Chains A and B, each alone.
Chain A
Amino acid sequence: GAVVSQHPSRVICKSGTSVKIECRSLDFQATTMFWYRQFPKKSLMLMATSNEGSKATYEQGVEKDKFLINHASLTLSTLTVTSAHPEDSSFYICSARAGDLSNQPQHFGDGTRLSIL
């Protein structure tokens, strides 16, 4: 089946640090990748949608200068949390979809737990 690899799985760093999270589709080309944020025992909140070679589309309320997304190839998207603060601590999950059709399932990475001290 389709595999999405997300790295790192856990990050603990000091306030003010910038953190980069990678999301790779290992065995398929991901036209579209999605970045979600999940708070404890809550649902997933979509942060942004990225299409290869174009700028990401951010959801309302998500700061694009804070959460930088790059989708440079059909197999790699990165999320950089710039100048992270304790309130940015959360579980970040990426997903990828193989085609352009919305009736294709999304394949998820295992998430990155970010803890800002």
Chain B
Amino acid sequence: SQQGEEDPQALSIQEGENATMNCSYKTSINNLQWYRQNSGRGLVHLILIRSNEREKHSGRLRVTLDTSKKSSSLLITASRAADTASYFCALISNFGNEKLTFGTGTRLTIIP
């Protein structure tokens, strides 16, 4: 399967704490992307990290990629109530298939 598996499935933390979500996959990838989905809405693109990159930052977000372990993590620092959402990793494989395959998602709840 080219689908990513996310861990944990659900995470609840206090506002101000850091949240870390992990994504593991089995295939060789071209790039890996993280998206956020608020309840009942579409997805918002957060960060794209290419297979030759190890870390990327965007504001309070930090994404790491370890291709040897076939895993990625998304760190949200100084969480806010507005960060409450589902977070999905999605990957593009190297097998000539340009389809974005989504992981199972992590449901993040920030407690005010």
Using a CB–CB cutoff of 8 Å, the interface residues on chain A facing chain B are 4, 6, 32, 34, 41-44, 46, 49, 91, 93, 95, 102-103, 105-111, 113
Question: A73 → chain B, closest Cβ, in Å?
Answer: 21
Report the bound CA distance from A103 to B107 in whole Å: 26
A residues within 8 A CB of B33? 105-106
Question: B30 → chain A, closest Cβ, in Å?
Answer: 6
Report the bound CA distance from A110 to B39 in whole Å: 10
B residues within 8 A CB of A91? 40
**Contact yes or no, B102 A102, CB < 8 A:** no
Question: A24 → chain B, closest Cβ, in Å?
Answer: 13
**Contact yes or no, A43 B88, CB < 8 A:** yes
**Contact yes or no, B31 A108, CB < 8 A:** no
0 or 1 for each of B10-39: is its CB under 8 Å from A? (1 = yes): 000000000000000000001101010000
**Contact yes or no, A43 B105, CB < 8 A:** yes
Asked if B76 is at the interface of the complex by the 8 Å CB criterion, the answer is no
Question: A66 → chain B, closest Cβ, in Å?
Answer: 20
Given contacts A46-B99, A46-B101, A105-B48, contact A95 B92 (CB under 8 A): no
Report the bound CA distance from A95 to B92 in whole Å: 15
A36 and chain B: residue at smallest CB distance: B102
Chain B 55-112 interface residues, beta-carbon cutoff 8 Å to A: 88, 92, 98-105, 107
Report the bound CA distance from A34 to B43 in whole Å: 13
Question: A40 → chain B, closest Cβ, in Å?
Answer: 10
Question: A72 → chain B, closest Cβ, in Å?
Answer: 22
**B50: contacting residue among A46, A103, A111, A113, CB under 8 A:** A103
